[in-house]
């Protein structure tokens, strides 16, 4: 069955000061998968996402979204950065942050209005944060902050979602809430790509996985490629995996 390709990456290479962080990455991500990107620290997982989204400049390679360049397809893509990449002491409320998700469609200068506010409130509701809409973001817990970030991406109504370690440092109930939202996105035909730090939960949460360690080790359905062989190739130690059916 030939699926539509949501994301295609060719020969992507990123280097810092002549040191390769990503080397010659070829990746095809079909539409509608919920995919984990895993690898050890320094493997280039965050870098991969940032290079695809144009936040970092690669020294070689190209990225296409549904066959066209990423620049033309921005409206189809939403990004959820790492929680830690932002100063949460910034003077703003939860609702305000979620409304930032509407800024892309508004474009330059135009102000967010009632329509945008409504969309933001709906997104807050979806992640269970509506009671906190006027809360100053520094007063939110880690899990709550993560939900706000997710709501901001949901507002964009994108087809493809890139998330960088969304489960890092969140409480158990937030983790469950988030994975349920991601699964609902997949069910709706969206493509969700997640840099994931916890190997334990890969088989349970995701249907596709990419093993990364500067180079792409393997990519494909979890049931096919999440095995001892690939784990050892990626992490360098003898991993044994058993998947509960």
Tell me which residues touch other proteins (CB under 8 A): 17, 50, 53-55, 74, 77-79, 81, 85-87, 90-93, 97, 100, 103-104, 106, 108-109, 111-112, 131, 136, 152
Shortest gap between Cβ of 154 and other proteins (angstroms)?
14
Shortest gap between Cβ of 187 and other proteins (angstroms)?
24
Q: What is the dihedral of CA 74, 78, 84, 86, to 10 degrees?
A: 60
Query: Among 151, 149, 86, which residue's Cα sits nearest to residue 120?
Result: 151
Place of tokens 């942050």: 97
Query: Among 162, 153, 163, 159, which residue's Cα sits nearest to residue 190?
Result: 159
Q: Which pair of structure tokens corresponds to residue 20?
A: 């390769």
- Closest CB to other proteins among 81 and 203? 81
Q: Which pair of structure tokens corresponds to residue 31?
A: 């539409």
- Closest CB to other proteins among 12 and 202? 12
Shortest gap between Cβ of 160 and other proteins (angstroms)?
11
Pairs from 126-132 (Cβ < 8 Å, separation ≥ 24): 126/151, 126/154, 126/181, 127/151, 127/154, 127/177, 127/178, 127/181, 128/177, 129/94, 132/94
What is the layout of strands, in order, in the sheet containing 68-69? 19-30, 5-16, 60-65, 68-69
Shortest gap between Cβ of 138 and other proteins (angstroms)?
8
- Closest CB to other proteins among 100 and 241? 100
- Closest CB to other proteins among 104 and 220? 104
Shortest gap between Cβ of 153 and other proteins (angstroms)?
9
- Closest CB to other proteins among 36 and 129? 129
Query: Among 171, 212, 178, which residue's Cα sits nearest to residue 192?
Result: 178
Shortest gap between Cβ of 7 and other proteins (angstroms)?
14
Rounded Cα–Cα distance for residues 122 and 10 (Å) = 37
| Pure H helices in 107-163 | 114-126, 142-155
Query: Residue 156 carries which DSSP code?
Result: T
- Closest CB to other proteins among 97 and 202? 97
Shortest gap between Cβ of 36 and other proteins (angstroms)?
21
- Closest CB to other proteins among 1 and 109? 109
């Amino acid at each position: 069955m030939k699926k539509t390709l949501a994301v295609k990456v060719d020969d992507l290479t990123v280097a810092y000061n002549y040191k390769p962080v990503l080397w010659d990455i070829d990746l095809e991500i079909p539409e509608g998968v919920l995919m984990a990107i895993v690898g050890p620290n320094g493997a280039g997982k965050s870098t991969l996402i940032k290079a695809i989204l144009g936040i970092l400049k690669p020294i070689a390679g190209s990225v296409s979204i549904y066959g066209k360049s990423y620049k033309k397809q921005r409206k189809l893509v939403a990004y959820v950065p790492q929680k830690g990449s932002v100063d949460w002491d910034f003077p703003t409320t939860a609702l305000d942050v979620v409304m930032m998700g509407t800024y892309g469609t508004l474009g330059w200068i135009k102000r967010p209005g009632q329509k945008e506010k409504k969309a933001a409130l709906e997104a807050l509701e979806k992640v269970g944060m509506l009671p906190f809409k006027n809360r100053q973001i520094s007063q939110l817990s880690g899990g709550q902050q993560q939900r706000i970030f997710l709501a901001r991406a949901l507002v964009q109504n994108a087809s493809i979602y890139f998330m960088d370690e969304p489960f890092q440092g969140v409480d158990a109930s937030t983790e469950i809430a988030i994975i349920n939202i991601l699964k609902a996105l997949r069910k709706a035909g969206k493509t969700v790509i997640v840099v994931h730090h916890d190997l334990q939960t890969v088989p349970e949460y995701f249907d596709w996985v990419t093993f990364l360690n500067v180079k792409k080790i393997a990519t494909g359905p979890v049931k096919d490629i999440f095995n001892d062989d690939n784990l050892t190739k990626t992490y360098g130690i003898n991993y044994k995996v058993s998947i509960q059916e």
